[in-house]
Copies of this chain bind each other. A is one copy, B any other.
Amino acid sequence: MTIANRKQREKEEMRSLILDAARAIFLEKGYEQASIRAIAEKIEYSPGTIYLYFKDKDEIFHALHEEGFSRMLKKMQPLRHVQDPFERLKAMGAVYLDFAVNNRDFYDLMFILQAPIKHEIDKEDWEMGHQTLDYLKQILRECQEQGRFPGRDINYLSFTIWSMVHGMSALYCRDRCKAYHDVNLEPGKLMENAYKIFMSMLEKI
């Protein structure tokens, strides 16, 4: 069975070779500007070869999409050690924003780009997205058990919070923070302080 094993391994190696090149190009140029030919050239194969490992451009995209969520989830792991649920909530938002700022193109790919989302966000494929959202809801439930957010619906509340942090991230990713350049405010400072305001609002809700 060693030969079949090797074939299998080589197939996977080729896939990740393509993905490595694709990641670099996708994250640098964006979805539309990244071309299959550029990916092929980077790994020194012909364009046609890529289609032996991926059905189409969207499938490559989708693989990176999953990788993004996997990375984000990994960054959220340490949160489990934060005892107080409200502190954990605050930390989660901070991790989220940190991820968006430091993995700008991954974030864009995961939450802004339209491409592979069309028919899969309500299916199993959106797994890790749901996982993250469920984790947020769980924290909110724990907060409520401690008396916070009295009478608030967890679904609406989670959407409120998600919208807030996504809003900042999306304005950042798509360069709309520049609207504050005239008052000499960098995106980082802007986001940090806006997040502080939002958290102090959550405390008093």
Contact = CB atoms under 8 A, between A and B. Distances in A.
Oligomer: number of copies: 2
A179 B193 CA distance: 28
A160 interface: yes
Contacts of A121: 175-176, 178-179, 181
A113 to B, nearest CB: 8
A78 to B, nearest CB: 24
Chain A interface mostly: helix
Contacts of A178: 121-122, 126
Given A153-B193, A171-B162, A179 B32 contact: no
Interface stretch (A9-17, A49-57, A66-74, A196-204): A196-204
A134 to B, nearest CB: 10
Contact of A129 (B129, B155, B179): B179
A202 B197 CA distance: 10
B162 A164 contact: no
A100 to B, nearest CB: 12
Contacts of A162: 167, 171
Nearest to A121: B178
Interface of A: 30, 32, 111-114, 117-118, 121-122, 126, 129-130, 133, 152-153, 155-157, 159-160, 162-168, 170-171, 174-176, 178-183, 185, 190-191, 193-194, 196-198, 200-202, 204-205
